[in-house]
Amino acid sequence: MSIDQILVAPGGENITPPPKSDIVATGLGEVGDQYTLEPSALERTLRGVAVAIQLEKEWDDMLVQWFSITQKKASTTLSVTQWLAAAQEELSSEPELVLIMNVVIGLSYMRERGRTSDLRQDPLSVDFIWPIISAALAAPNSSFKVSRSAGGFLFVPLCSLIKDGKIDELWRLHVWLPDGKRGNVIHSHNAFGQSWILAGEGKNLLWSVKPAEYDQATHAEYGLQWNDGKKSDSAYKTHQVSSTIVNTKKYVAADLSSTDVHLRNTTYSVSDKQWHSSEVAPDRVCATLFVFDALRGFRDIAPVLGPKDGESSTQTRDPAGHTVEEIVKTVENVRAWEDLVQSGRRYNLSGKRDVAEETFKCALKLCQELPGFPNRELYIKSTRNEME
């Protein structure tokens, strides 16, 4: 049974779901026309996507050539919307290439959006980029791979640009499942980070971390190494089999400075100079698009904090059977539920009680009947609370 089948009333009448943006088909509307993308920007993103999915060189070369040819046909630099339309029209004989090209164009837009916009609420970008990512990941024979992070979440590398073993620009999909696996480790980043909330909610905790004597220390700094099955060292590796942290015996005292809750459609940043940790309820789903962008800030050494008496710890990247198709469906299901709940709330506020009730019933039916809906009972309870 699909989401569309769920959205049918007992009498056979379709229950109208919340209106969806048309940006999937037309780009970003006026915003998509405002953002132009040079072929060089697209080529940069393509290099990173090619690394993430291990794209065959033949296809890589063909797409680089397509950028140049397509731009030469135009009198001005093409907009995001125009690039998307051109890919759909001119690469239609290779559907897999269209999906890859959409990811390249979409992430190129998100790069510009992140660097130029100070909006904290950005539903337009979230609703634009998620269908692009989900379509590429859920496609038959998708080359995107899922791994388990030391932070407890699952992640999928989307675009990876590494320079001299350091992150230059790295885009990943992060998904916390309602499986209780959480890390919440205080850590720093080599590169400036920005996150867009695609579904659910999470907390970003900032910490004040200062050197301390052993007796006053709350933690020790740990150095981080990545292992790709060939070599284990401090050089970042896109395709990892494990990561290991090792106690440096540098002792620190960590104090919580602030806690901010971030909901769907919001975006927040963590600079390379900050210490932070992330919290997501262990029984809820949360998904984010995350980027490390060294252009906006970079530090050479980025430790993580751990027990001051510890020695080392290794986290394997084994996703334990989880697939990209599965996590895409999970995120899509939760987003559909959130859309219905938010729509029901709006109807209530506008005095349309009957419509609100039907919308909440639809959300309830989604939780109850959709195969594989995550932590079904919790979301059913949340929906019923909305109906009271």
| Stretch 80-109: mean pLDDT | 94
Q: Is 159 exposed, middle or buried (0-12, 13-18, 19+ CB in 10 A)?
A: buried
| Stretch 273-282: mean pLDDT | 97
Q: Which two tokens stand for residue 33?
A: 């026309």
Q: Which two tokens stand for residue 362?
A: 């639809």
Sign of CA dihedral 204, 328, 346, 194: positive
Question: What share of the chain has pLDDT > 90, as a percent?
Answer: 88
**The domain defined by 147-316 carries CATH number 3.40.50.1400:** no
pLDDT at residue 1 is higher than 70: no
SS (H, E, C) 367-386: HHHCCCCCCHHHHHHHHHHH
pLDDT at residue 27 is higher than 90: no
Angle at 55 between CA 158 and CA 294, to 5 degrees: 40
Domain extent listing, the chain: 35-138, 147-316, 324-387
Beta-carbon contacts of residue 261 (< 8 Å; ≥ 6 apart): 201, 202, 203
pLDDT at residue 18 is higher than 80: no
Cα 143 to the center of its chain, rounded Å: 17
Tens digit of each residue's pLDDT (9 = 90 or more) over 190-247: 999 999 999 999 999 999 999 999 999 999 999 999 999 999 999 999 999 999 999 9
Tens digit of each residue's pLDDT (9 = 90 or more) over 326-384: 999 999 999 999 999 999 999 999 999 999 999 999 999 999 999 989 999 999 999 99
Say what the pTM is. 0.93
- CA-wise closest residue to 173 among 144, 150, 200: 144
Question: What share of the chain has pLDDT > 70, as a percent?
Answer: 93
Question: In the prediction, which pLDDT does 302 show?
Answer: 94
Task: Provide the 10 A C-beta neighbour count for residue 118.
Answer: 6
